[in-house]
Structure 1
Amino acid sequence: MAASASSAAVTVVDDSSPGPFEGPEKLLEIWFAPSEEDVVARNLPLKGGRKGKERWTGLRQVEKSVWDNMLDEVCCKVLSVIEGEEVDAYLLSESSMFVWPHKLILKTCGTTTLLLGIPTLLRIASETCGFKGVWRCFYSRKTFMFPERQRGPHKDWTAEMSFLDKLFENSSAYTVGRMNGDHWLLYITPPSDDVLLPHALESSRALPPATHDTQLSALSASLDTTPSAFPPRRAVQPRLIPSRPDQTLEILMTQLSPAACKKFYHPSSDTPYASYPAEPVAADGDAHALGAKLSDDLGLSAILEGATIDSFLFAPCGFSQNAVRGDRYATVHVTPEEAYSYASFECNFDFAGLGADADRGLETREAVRRTSESLQDLVEKVLAIFEPAKMCITLFVSDEDEDDAGIEKNARAHEGMRQLLNPHLEARYERVDRILYSFDGYSLIFAAFQKKDR
């Protein structure tokens, strides 16, 4: 049951109460610098206190206990951590967090209050890591299934935009797709030396930690402090070290088949679906061991070949997985209750193997062909596991420089990436939407599909 806190603008919902679970995630990505190399070049102070690795710089020097405090405000917990060579992957009770020296991705489901953690995140980046601004910010989510169960600014897209606009400047917000159907919401800032409003960092430092009872109106008022009340920002010289080329695919799937749903129930569950795995590690086995076996059996581990993988099978049901390979990441989350089933697959692995070839000047048409084929192959493998009746696919692609050669190369790449389904899948799914956006430094391809036999 939902209960409203007295005299508060935040509706408090107990996730443990009976009722549907919100599978679609909120996704925040904040860049404090354009690249890891830029962080090293700045010679920022090392105050994080994280022990054991001299190579940890930027955000990676922050200790887990510090992240725990921030995640308490978001209403989720750390289950386990992959300490990769170039990125740390935190598996959370509600989805995932990935930390590089220069950026952070936080993805949370359920009724988590992701945006309420941003002020503390800004304080950590400033006080612990020495970052004095934000390079760029992305926030996105699919439409919620049960918006009335959300808390704080997450009950409404307008409220989310308003909250973010109190922190960031020069932003743009988009509704991508049909308003009366499946659509995707995006808030984005352009790359800049600092996209924080002049008062945002100082205001964030003055705020107490957010809690379930935090009044949204009071929090917003604190962030609305007049900029002139603070000293002017010191000008920071722009950094010209670019980030590595990136291509991020996200597949958001709903109405999974009953056969797919039953695979994600814990063997100790008393539901009729608790028949998988056929040979469980143990009836009350370790959630990580069960998750690893499930990942192997379903073929997820094979899709993410060469990666370090961390999987977790929840009781009575649900599945989460993180994977890292070099500086690349992947994450999978499943809510298998049949009435509101949902699964997400997000990944920026270089499946086409173009990393080395790009430096050798691989001909653009060949690169586009290989990329398109690898994307289609990946989508087919993912859909074979989850068998959704409906899905939205987003593909973010970093763009070349905006000279004539770069524009031509981008145009060819966009054309090649429009075809996200191979002919076999096109026979089973009809496309109900396809949209292309161009942003500063990135292009976005959005497509929505549904099964033809529905």
Structure 2
Amino acid sequence: MFFEGAEKRIEIVVDEFTSNLRELGDLFWKTALAKAGASVLSTTSNDCCDAYVLSESSLFVWKNKILLITCGNTSLIDTSVQILESVGVNHLKWFSYQRKSELYAHLQTSRFEDDVIRLKQYIDGHAYRVGHLDGHHHYLFYSEPLPSLQRFSALQMYHIKGGLADYLLSEQQHKSHILTQLQLDSLLPQFKFDDWLFSPCGYSINGIYQDDYITMHITPQEPTSYVSIETNLADIQRVFNIFSFMLNIFNPGSWDVIGFNAHLPAGGMGSSVPLAQCRLALNNKDNLYITQYRELACEQLAPVELLL
């Protein structure tokens, strides 16, 4: 069974004159998410944020901000337009749309270029591609308004292997065991978690503490296994430690580290070699950092006896 793990991501920040976004209500999100082909599976909340585990990734809603991540063949652009029309573009302080290159792009409902054409009917902005077109790459469209001062760090892992990867494909999975292996409750003891185990495989988890969030999505199917983890934690060393731990337990063949106004050091991310890196200055305050890594591999040679 193939599932496209590559994600699409929107972030919307509104001004202080907009009504509390958390009051949009369940019916609004049910209708908006249906346009993308997604639905709500589970919800958790605190005083600052509502976090939704979706049939395809996650949604987080704060008083003045929305973060929506979808994967698979979802049409996130349709949901984006619904939100923009409901909130009103005159109240936008910041809008960004990111999309990672898909393995089977021809199965998607639109191309990034098509999405940007639709968005520009509502928002002025700039569009970029980071990475080679014939390899895996990242797209970004962002709006013109004032600097966002938003922050997030993301780790995207490809071709996982080892004990945990095998377990995630087994028939006897249980989400409590997966959570124990991830050790998120130890790494982030103050966070409240909400997770979901898909059938026959696949796993998603959200965590929130005050304004902070972490979200993780696992697509373990071969030959396109993929794991993503994202957080807005301000402590870069803590983020580095979490990412390093995840690299150790998932043992990916390659991975990307992405930072928006958060720059993780290029060295020390597992046993690896950086293949490429980019710093994209979006304005005088906001920067996007992307570094691509590949696992260090050493071929084990078998001696061949020569019968002379």
Q: Please, what TM-score do these two structures have when normalized by structure 1?
A: 0.62
Say yes or no: does 1:335 pair with 2:219.
yes
1:389 aligns with 2:248: no
Aligned to 1:309: 193
Return the offset for 1:291. Answer: 2.5
Q: Which of 222, 231, 235 is 1:347 aligned to?
A: 231
Match of 2:243?
379
Structure-2 separation of matches of 1:309 and 1:59: 22
User: After superposition, what is the alpha-carbon deviation per residue over 1:53-85, rounded to whole angstroms, capped at 9, x for unaligned?
Assistant: xxxx51011111221011111111101111211
For the residues of structure 1 that align with 2:220 and 2:260, how far apart are their CA atoms? 27
In the alignment, which of 37, 40, 59 is matched to residue 97 of structure 1?
59
Q: Partner of 1:274 in structure 2?
A: 171
Find the aligned partners of 1:418 and 1:320 in 2 and give their Cα distance. 24
For the residues of structure 2 that align with 1:325 and 1:108, how far apart are their CA atoms? 22
Contact 1:76 1:94 in 2 (8 A): yes
Letter in 1 for 2:257: I
Encode CA deviations 1:129-162: one digit per residue, 9 max, x unaligned: xx743212111122101111111x2xx2221221
Larger radius of gyration: 1
- Secondary structure at 1:256 match in 2: coil
Q: Report SS of the residue matched to 1:137.
A: strand
Deviation at 1:302, TM superposition (A): 2.1
Residue type at the aligned position of 2:248:
A
Counterpart CA distance in 1 for 2:94 and 2:178 is 37
The SS at the match of 1:436 is strand
Q: Identity of aligned pairs, percent?
A: 26
Do residues 143 (structure 1) and 105 (structure 2) align?
no
**Counterpart of 2:280?**
437
CA RMSD across the alignment: 2.1
**2:83 corresponds to which residue?**
121
1:324 to 186, 205, 208: 208
Aligned counterpart, 1:199: none
Separation in 2, partners of 1:349, 1:292: 24
Which region of structure 1 is more displaced relative to structure 2, 67-76 or 131-140? 131-140
The answer to whether 1:81 aligns with 2:43 is yes
Match of 1:179 among 133, 151, 156: 133
Q: Which has the higher helix share?
A: 1
Q: 1:447 to 1:123 in 2, by over 3 A?
A: same
Distance 1:418 1:86 in 2: 26
Which of 66, 91, 102 is the equivalent residue of 2:28? 66
If the length of structure 2 is used for normalisation, what is the TM-score? 0.89
Unaligned runs of 5+ in 2: 299-308
Contact kept, 8 Å, 1:182 with 1:448, in 2: the verdict is: no
Change (3 A) 1:324 1:420: farther
1:300 aligns with 2:146: no
Superposed CA offset, 1:314-339 (max 9, x none): 11100001111111111000100121
Contact (CA 8 Å) 1:26, 1:107: kept in 2 or not?
yes
Q: Residue 4 of structure 1 corresponds to which residue in structure 2? A: none
- State the one-letter code of the partner of 1:138: S
What's the offset of the Cα at 1:387?
1.4
C-alpha deviation, 1:418, in angstroms: 5.4
Distance 2:112 2:207 in 1: 30
Alignment of structure 1 residues 384-423 onto 2, 5 Å: 384-397=248-261, 417=263, 419-422=265-268
Equivalent residue for 1:363?
none
> What is the aligned length?
297
Query: Which deviations, in whole Å up to 9, do the C-alpha atoms of 1:90-110 show, x marking residues without a partner?
Result: 110100001111111110010
What is the match of residue 293 of structure 2?
449
Letter in 1 for 2:25: E
Contact persistence 1:22–1:110 (CA under 8 A): yes
Q: Which amino acid aligns with 1:163?
A: R
Secondary structure at the counterpart of residue 253 of structure 2: strand
What secondary structure, in the 3-state scheme, does the structure 1 residue paired with 2:171 have? coil
- CA 418–308 in structure 1, closer or farther in 2 if over 3 Å, else same: closer
Counterparts of 1:420 and 1:379, CA distance in 2:
13
The Cα offsets for residues 286-312 of structure 1, whole Å up to 9 and x where unpaired, read as xxxx43442123313322321110011
In structure 2, distance between residues paired with 1:258 and 1:20: 20
Report the counterpart of residue 3 of structure 2 in structure 1: 21
Q: Which consecutive unaligned segments of at least 5 residues does structure 1 have? A: 1-18, 34-38, 45-56, 193-241, 266-272, 277-289, 353-370, 399-416
The 2-side partners of 1:124 and 1:389 are apart by 42
| Mapped partners of 2:167, 2:212: distance in 1 | 27
